[in-house]
Every structure is written in structure tokens, then in C-alpha cells.
Amino acid sequence: MGSSSADSTPTPDSPNMEFLQIPNGQKNDGLKHSDTSMSIVSNTVPIGWFPDSDYLLKIVQQNPFWRSKPDPTKPETKKSFTIETGIAFFFAGLGMACAGLLLSHAQNWSFLTQMEEAFVLIPPLLGLKGNLEMTLASRLGTWTNLGLLKTKKQQLKIFISSVALDQAQAIIVAFLAAIIASGLYKLGANGGDFTWHRVVALHLASVVTGSATSFMLSTLMVAITLLANRCGVNPDNITTPLAGTTGDTITLGFFIFFGTLINNGKEHNLVLYCILLGVFLLSSLFWMFVTSKNPLTRQVLKSGWVSILTAMVISTGGGVIMQNAIKKYPDVGTFQPVINGVGGNLVAVQSSRISTYLHQFGIYGQLPANRLLTYLNPIRTFSCQESESIIALILLLMCIPGHMIFLVLIFAIHIGFSTWNWMFFGLYLVIGVVQVIFFRFKKRKRRKILKKRSFSGKIDFVVMSGL
């Protein structure tokens, strides 16, 4: 195909948009969607213009060479975004509150009292669930908006490769988290109780929990995404927070259930436990092989490990802090899933939206517009000068009533209002808001830097929402 001339280059006022051509003599064969969209943008939009208007969307949608163009059923408004995200966020908060109540009751059960190092594993396992399922939800939202989940064949391939990817990452990260927890226990005051029966039991409980919850939640995420797409709802707005609705409770429940069974038989089944643990670890190689067969997940398998492992190490450190805090303040475990999950869910929603936007209109190694320094300005994050900052402000405002509702709910069900403390209430809200502001600015900066450095930022960016 020949190159388009300067005279035929369309402008915002061009009456005819049907005859757009690929500029600069590029051929359609082999072009990625980002290559096509960026080449069109660079020849039709003034330099320095940030592509965030209906005009750009019209160009992209009417370009015959856009292979995976977004196909929205209706334009998204601030009202629709607030309703969709708010409902999902509310149910996610209820799920996190339930997980906190379960943890508060379970800390006196035999498994957690006999195997104290299991406390250290709770934040990494909950974080692993959040990191894997939120990144999966984010990828599914992006693929849906790019039109890659329209046919049954596409959906089946995505389901198989996504489940395989999550299984591989969950097994390996859960195993490594158990190694760190066992090492910290050995170095602690109770290191004299360190035995191989205890170590193998903890590792097997961690790996089984990670694998089981990963399979269940990844299946649920695919189902929610397909249902949202069919109902005309943007998956980026609801799938990510819904990942936490039942995820924390299921993960904690599975860990206590499997941990209790494994702990009760650890003295007589050491060989069996070692065999089962080896089978799970070897199965991760099979899951990696399945993942590598799909180009959409192959890159994630290569580039997604650093952030996953970094999040695991930081979460394990948080587990040590929580273990010591619960000894002095037994009720603090009730708030752990809520204070951690609310900020992560809200920031992950926008992380997913930004990633989708850049996958649609960006090319790796290039920012859409402006210098990198522009995105390091914290004022710009909530300036309301563009849709991204408006969404950030809406999410921040959701945080305040959300924390108030969940805090009152925890006191009403578990702690009791007789111990209500207004200073604690105020400081809790301040910390929750500051956490979201910090996460939001950090994710915005990191996402732009990863894009500038040609990372596949979908994984690294959203995973780091859990740090």
C-alpha cells in the first residue's frame, strides 16, 4: 500500500474519515494494534496533544487496519464509572471485612497456635491472591477492550493460558514464601522447635492453598469478565475489585483448612508430604509450558516474576509485623485485610484503566505525550485537568465512606461499640486516605516509567499496587 500524502492527511475537521491509510508506506501485514494506532496518531494529531478525546477514538474505530479496536456498547460517563466501581468496591469491602473477622477468630485455633510461623504466611498468601488475580483481572479487561475475547475459541484459549499462568506463579511464590517464613521462625526465639516435619507441613499447606485458590479465583475472574462484557459494563471498573470480594475469605479459609489437615498428620506422613510437594513443584513446569503456547501470556511469564517476588518479600515482612502486633493487640488482625485491601483495590482499578489506555493508544518505549517529568508531579495526579486525574479523585473520595462503613461494621459485629475510640477512628481514616494518595501517585509514576523503559507494564504496574 502506498504512503499517504501530506494533503490527504486527515485533520479533526476532515469530513470523510473512511479512507484512512497507514502512513509512511507501512504495510498492514505484521502490524500490532499499538503500531497502527500510534502511526495514525502521529500523523493526525498535533505534537504534544494528549490523546484523550472522541476524535481519536473515531479515528481508531474507523481505521480498517485496526485489528483489535475497542468496541464500547455505550460511552462511559463519570456517573456510570462511579456506580459500576462503587458497587463492586462495596462488595469487595464486605469480603475483606469477613476475612478480617475470620482471621480474628482463627488466631486461637489449633493450627495457628501450634504452628506460629503460619501467621507470617497469611499476608503473603493474601497478597499473592490479590497480586495474581488483580493482574489477571487487569489483563482480561485490557484484552476485552481490545476485542480479543469476542469468539468462543479466543475465550477458551485465554481461559486455559490464564489459569496455567496463575498456577505456575502461585505454586512457586507460595513455596518461596514458606521458605522465608520457616527461615524467620528458625532465627526467632522459638527456633528450637524447628523440625523437618514442621517445615514440610508448612510448605505443603502454603503450596496447596496457593494452587487451590488460584484455580478457583482465576476461573471466577474469567467468568466475571465475560459476563461484564455481555452486560455492556467495562471490565476494568468491576473485575479488579470483585477479585477481592471472596478472594481474601477463600484464601484464608483454605489455608486454615488445609493447614489443619496437614498439621494433624505431619508426624506420620513425612514421606507422603514430600512426594506431594514434589508433584506440585514439578507441575509448575507443565503450567509454564502451557502458558508459553499463548503469545498473550508468554510475555507475562517472562517479565512478571520480579514484581511478584518483590511483593511477596515485602508482604512476608508485613507478616512478621502482624505476628508481633497480634500478640499485643489481638483485635488488630481484624483490620489487616481491610486496611490493605481497600487501597489496593481502588488503585488497581485505575492501574488497569491506564494500562488498557496505553495498550490501545501507546507503543512500548514511548510516552503518549509530554515529558516523563510531567508524570512525576503529584499535583497533576488529582488536578482534574484530564480524565485520568478525575477518575483518581473519584476513587479517593470512595475511600473515605468505604472505610467508615467497614470500620463501623467490624465494631458492630466483632469488637463492640463499648470500646469505640474516636481518636482511633480519625487516625484510621487519615491513614487510609494517605495510603490511597501515596499508592495512586506511586502507580502513576511507575506505570509511565515502565512504559518509557519498554516493560510490559500490565503486570509490573498492577502487581505493585499490592506493595
List, for residues 382-400, the tens digit of each pLDDT value.
566 667 777 778 888 888 8
Q: Which residues touch 441 (CB under 8 Å, ≥6 apart)?
A: 378, 381
Whether residue 254 has pLDDT greater than 70: yes
Q: What is the pLDDT of residue 211?
A: 93
Q: What percent of the chain has pLDDT over 70?
A: 69
pLDDT at 205: 93
47 confidence band (pLDDT: 50, 70, 90): very low
Question: Can you tell me the distance from the alpha carbon of 193 to that of 205, in angstroms, rounded to the nearest whole number?
Answer: 18
Helix (H, G, I), strand (E, B) or coil at 264: helix
The answer to which of 127-131, 207-211, 378-382 has the lowest mean pLDDT is 378-382
- For the ranges 141-145, 255-259, 363-367, 446-450, which has the lowest average pLDDT? 446-450
Residue 13 has a pLDDT of: 41
Give the pLDDT confidence of 67-76 residue by residue, as tens digits.
344 444 456 6
Residue 363 φ/ψ, nearest 5 degrees: -135, 135
Q: What is the per-residue pLDDT for 105?
A: 80
- What integer pLDDT is reported at residue 228 of this predicted model? 83
Residue 184 neighbours by CB distance under 10 Å = 17
Please report the pLDDT score of residue 410 as a whole number: 85
Residue 388 near residue 350 (C-beta atoms within 8 A): yes
- For the chain, the C-alpha Rg in angstroms (whole number) is 24
Residue 436 has pLDDT above 60, yes or no: yes
The whole-number average pLDDT for the span 26-34 is 37
- The pLDDT confidence band at residue 369, using thresholds 50, 70 and 90, is low
Average pLDDT over residues 365-369: 59
pLDDT band at 242 (very low <50, low <70, confident <90, very high): confident
Phi, psi of 366 (to 5 degrees): -135, 135
pLDDT of residue 359: 67
List all residues 6 or more positions away from 337 whose beta carbon is below 8 Å from its beta carbon.
96, 97, 99, 100, 103, 126, 248, 252
pLDDT, position 461: 46
Nearest to 220 by CA among 238, 195, 200: 238
Between residues 6 and 329, the one the model is more confident about: 329
Largest Cα span, the chain: 82
Q: What is the pLDDT of residue 223?
A: 87
Q: What is the average pLDDT across 282-292? A: 93
Q: Give the tens place of pLDDT for each residue, 119-168.
A: 888 888 877 777 787 788 878 887 887 777 888 888 888 889 889 999 99
Place of cell 518479600: 313
- Confidence band for 378, pLDDT divided at 50, 70 and 90: low
pLDDT given for residue 127 in this prediction:
76
The mean per-residue pLDDT over the stretch 233-242 comes to 77
Place of cell 481505521: 63
Task: Give residue 370's pLDDT.
Answer: 55
Cell numbers 479523585 label which residue?
393
pLDDT at 30 over 50: no
Q: Which of 131 and 47 is assigned the larger pLDDT?
A: 131
- Concatenating the DSSP letter of every residue in 30-55 gives T--HHHHHHHHHHHHS-TT----SHH
pLDDT at 190: 59
What is the pLDDT, as a whole number, of residue 276?
95
Domain parsing of the chain, residue ranges? 1-69, 78-466
Task: Catalogue the long-range contacts made by 145-150 (C-beta closer than 8 Å, 24 or more residues apart).
Answer: 145/70, 145/72, 145/234, 145/235, 145/236, 145/356, 145/360, 146/33, 146/68, 146/69, 146/70, 146/356, 146/359, 146/360, 147/67, 147/68, 147/69, 147/70, 147/71, 148/68, 148/296, 149/225, 149/226, 149/229
**Per-residue confidence at 203, pLDDT binned at 50, 70, 90?**
very high
Report the pLDDT value the prediction gives residue 175, as an integer from 0 to 100. 93
| Mean pLDDT taken over the chain | 72
